[in-house]
Structure formats: C-alpha cells, structure tokens
Structure 1
C-alpha cells in the first residue's frame, strides 16, 4: 500500500491543521518514508504531529527546487529526521529572487540554510545530483527535466540576483514518480520545468508507462491562454485516473481543470490523503 499525505499546503480545513504558502508531501510505501519538500517552516512539524506522522522515520528528503516555500522547513526537520538522506539538484543552492518591473529590486525567495550549504552539517547524508535517483525502493526523482515543448516556461519572473538581470531557468526543478501495477503516480513540486515537459521526461524514463494519478503544483497562475489550452490538451492524452492539484496551480487553472476533467479532480489541502493499494 502506498499512502501519500499532504503535510503543507496553502489551505487547511481540518481542525488543528495549519496552512501556509508552501508544499510538503509525505510518501509512505509501507516499508519506507519519503518527505518531498518542507514548506516554509511554520507548519510542517505541527501538522505532522497532529496527523500522527513520525518524521523521525524519514528515510529520504527530496527538494523539488530551491524556493523558500519548499525548503524553508528543511533546517527544522533535519533536527528530527536524523537518519534521512537529503536529495537535491546542484542548482537548488543558488540565490533566488522574484520581482516585477514596478520594483527596483527583487524579493529574495531562497533561504540561508540551503544557499550556504549549511544542510551538509545537519543531514546524515547528502546526494546532489542532476540525474534520476531511486531514493527508496519504488520512489524515483526525475532529476533535471529537459525543456522540449514551445508553450511552457518557468511560470513567472524568477532571477538569480536582486537586480533582476540574470533570469533563473530553474534547472533545479524536479518531481517524483512512483511506478505501480496500474500506472505511475506523479507528484510535482511547482512544475517550473512545465508539467508536460515533466510527464514527457518521465515517459522516456519508464518506457511510456501509463499515468495513474497526478498531484501537486503546476504553476499556471500566469499561464497564457495558449499555454493553458495546450496543457489541457496534453493532459487529456495521458488519461490520468485522478488529479489533485494545489499550491501554485492558480484559481483560474484549477477551475479549468475541474471543468475539463469531470470526476477526476479531487480537493487537495493539508491532511489530504491518497492511497494506492498496488
């Protein structure tokens, strides 16, 4: 039995749960535990305790990319998950900023603990890699994702410096996929590489195994109509059985996804849990 629980997300509905702009997933394979992202740091440990999830049992921690809403809780969780191996892309430690033309300087969205490699002093083991890795039996990272199609971009204005003169291609973006007997379960962080680029890459890695379920953020908040339409068309071709999108997907995109895929989209917020028997 594979169980996926959402520990951190923008919204929380159950009593005692905390919401924050961020993302963290708990993946329980029955024999191993993987934490995918860590939120901003205010909610992860509290929500895990409330849900009865023992973060001390974490075998692997995977960072989807270096933004603070996915890495901010890393320092705190490493004080608990003392035996976990940390997996990240080498460019996840770069300085990261976002901003607009209306402001002279970008807003920093990286954290010192990651940017200064302080995690190396706390983690039991660190794997910095660009390639796909099986972090525990049956749970894989995508590694760096090729940017193939002509309609997807990083989903926003992201930079490597405060002056906003060096665009960040976010090559550190990666997702997780889990092969099951009925197809792949894919979990996105923010899909800055593009959800369709990501699914194409996973297809190449798995001999184009069918897609069973999709979860996570798609970063379609700023998507053009062309990108939105092309994304919906491509997703239809994958025939996913279940989709739980959240976080940075965007309200307009969420509405369109629920309209385009009736009966397949599910509400996804803190404490949401999804089980896959085989």
Structure 2
C-alpha cells in the first residue's frame, strides 16, 4: 500500500510538478509556540461559542458560517469558517453529534458527507462537517489545491482548526447537544486528538491513521517527495529537511495535555501507510 500511496501522490501533483511550500518558509513566527506554552500552563482562554449564520439547504441540511477565532493570523480568504450541519433521522433532540475534521486536501464537505455523515444520520447521529482553513472556499487565491504556499501556513491551519472546533463544540453545547464526539482521518485525526485534549468536559475522539506530528509526514513520508526543497533551501541551505522538522515540531501531540480518560477514544492504525 505504501507504493500505491506514493504513486497516487505523484499523479495528484502532476508527477511532482506541483509542490508544497513553493513560496518558502513564511515568517515562521513564534506566535504558536507562545500559544502552546499557555496550553501547557493551563492559561489558554477557551474560545467563545461560535456565532453562526445559517442558510437552509435541501434535505434539511444547513450551511453555517462564522468568524474564525483565529482570523487575526489567517489569510483573508480563510478567516470565515464554513460548516455543514447534517441532522439526525429521526430528528428527536437531543441527538448525539459528531464533529468531522478535514484530512489533508479535504476540500468542501462532500467526502465526509457521503462516507460518514449520511451513514450516521440514519442511525440517529447528527454531524457537523468543518471546511478547514486553506481548503475549498477558504483557500487563498495563490494556493494550488491543497499545496500550502508557505511552511508557516501548516501550523496556522492546525491552530485554526483546533480553535474553530472548540468554538463549535461550545456552540453545540449551548444548543443542547451534550453527547459530542470528534472524528478525523490522517491530519484530521491528529487535530481531533488535540481538540479532545483541550475541550471542556470529556469528549471522545475517533482518530483514523493519524500521525503523531506533521514533521515526519513532510520530512520522511510520501509528502516529502512533493515538498519544494529548492524554495526552502534558498534560506536554510542543505539543512532544510532538519529545519522543517524543527519548525513543524509545534504540531506534535506531546505539546498538548494528557487527559485522564484515554479509554473513551478510538485509534485506528494502518499496517503499511506512507
């Protein structure tokens, strides 16, 4: 399967012609390290419940938008968060609800809607699908697909997903959804673990094929083959790969607190995955 992963990545990036971080490092500011330090000391303020504007859609679905709590450091195109609400059937409140987080390159809502949310719906479970920053309608105009322009955009994406998730879970509690869970695949699984470590109360998470950090994904995994190392090497010389690992260390799960209820979570692993 690792060979299939590598071949699929080459096709998706036009055989390596499209690459991550083609504009270089960005400012690689310490803003996220300061945020993580406050998390470790327990002094990070919890985002306020999201203030959502709703638009009804067919099939009783609803499109919601709200100002991201991370808007100050996001590109303008990513500053407005978008969600799709899929109510449970039958619609007897209060149904349990799952917040679905995006994997790398998961633009829009359709993949998670058809593979997860509609299956949960007929089993009496509601879903909220978050369109992540830098993806879909929230993609900066200079970005090609999911290939982030700057290294700095990756920790920006992660922190924004976490803060938006916390704001959404707070909103759902206000609406009477006390039974909550978080789910994600790959990058979404790592973010689900981070959110579960920070959210109020005990919220179970389902993490499928999730890395412990983005660093090995982009320095050793299949995505390392489509990093624009030339763009990164202009600033850092031959140590670009080591430097990238150091910068992306902010995405390591060890930066987040350990909860006392590990039995409430589900981790799915792959035997041969790059």
- TM (norm. structure 2) is 0.33
Higher relative contact order (CA 8 A, sep 6+): 2
Larger Rg over CA atoms: 2
Q: Which has the higher helix share?
A: 2
- TM (norm. structure 1) is 0.33
